[in-house]
Amino acid sequence: MKLNIEIDCTPAEARAFLGLPDVTVLNDHLVAEMQKRMDANMASLQPDELMKTWTSFGVQAQDQFRRLMEAVVTGAPKP
């Protein structure tokens, strides 16, 4: 025997029927906080600052790779 039951209700109605708490206020607060933090981070992401960060990492990575290759060629232990 196979039985299919379809219930047509909104998410709020389903939460109320199942006895789950209404978290819309909490959700709205969290979304507003995330938007506020994203806006603050977007203001700090200036192109010149990004380039400084990326180029400094690139120089460090190149220097580390160069030292690794020198250690391989000379047979010296890695620093």
Secondary structure letter of residue 19 according to DSSP: T
DSSP helix/strand/coil, 4: coil
Contact 77, 71 (CB under 8 A): yes
Whole-model pTM? 0.42
Where helices occur in 1-79 by DSSP H, the ranges are 11-18, 24-44, 47-74
For 12-57, how does the pLDDT look when each residue is reduced to its tens digit (9 = 90+)? 899 999 999 988 899 999 999 998 888 877 766 676 766 666 666 6
Residues 6+ apart with CB under 8 A from 25: none
